[in-house]
Amino acid sequence: MKKLLLLIFTLNILHASGQIDIADHHKSLALYESALNEMQQGHYEPAIGKLIQAINLDSMQRSYYINLYEACLASENYMQVISYLQKATRIFQEDDELFYYMGNIFQKTDNTDQAIICYDSAIVYSKINGEDYPIVYAYYLNRGNCLMKKKKFKMATADYNEAIRLNDSDGASYTNRGIALYQQGKKEDACADWEKAVTFGQSVASQYINKYCNNK
């Protein structure tokens, strides 16, 4: 399970349309802090309810949406977060991380085409905001995975190349690039990728080597 992002709260009490009632702002903060406590204890469903209440009181706090995503991901309550992430991307425009998270949710719900659209946006905005953020490689990795589902192996390979460029120690990128290469008839390159993946702890890559590479 991905480690929860318990983000530091940043004060921001202005809506685009006007000023938030300070009492509502403080109520939302109390709910948010309570939700973080629930998440630390593994109580994700109560945390989800409190985060939604917090957003309804003060929709301008980015950390509310990110922790709602984390809680919904941990509890596999995917559908509940989609509309809130869509709202977040309208408020925090050109936020590559939020588009990435929304893509992940669409991928979890087997909406591959919509996931690709979200990853496209995440990648575009990452080039504006900077690719030095540690998870940017995963934008390409996950879009590549979606392209693999659509049997677009050459395009998937290009995305895995980018993922490896940004993070050359991610075993999943080598494993999946190996699959894409094998599907294109590039067996030697695929086997080399799977051997590399094994060095990064990808046990499934060993299975591919035994099945497809040891009978050369």
Q: Are 167 and 132 in contact (CB under 8 A)?
A: no
Predicted TM-score (pTM) of the model is 0.89
Whether residue 192 lies inside any domain: the answer is no
Whether residue 178 lies inside any domain: the answer is no
Whether residue 53 lies inside any domain: the answer is yes
CATH number at residue 82: 1.25.40.10
How many Å separate Cα 27 from the centre of its chain?
A: 29
Q: What pLDDT digit, counting tens, does each position of 16-26 carry?
A: 444 678 999 99
Q: Are 163 and 140 in contact (CB under 8 A)?
A: yes
What pLDDT sits at residue 2? 35
Whether residue 82 lies inside any domain: the answer is yes
The domain tally of the chain equals 1
Whether residue 166 lies inside any domain: the answer is no
Its domain, for residue 10, covers 1-92
Whether residue 164 lies inside any domain: the answer is no
Q: Are 103 and 50 in contact (CB under 8 A)?
A: no
Q: Are 190 and 209 in contact (CB under 8 A)?
A: no
What are the residue ranges in the chain where pLDDT is below 50? 1-18
Whether residue 47 lies inside any domain: the answer is yes
Whether residue 97 lies inside any domain: the answer is no
Structure letter (DSSP) for residue 202: -
What pLDDT sits at residue 3? 33
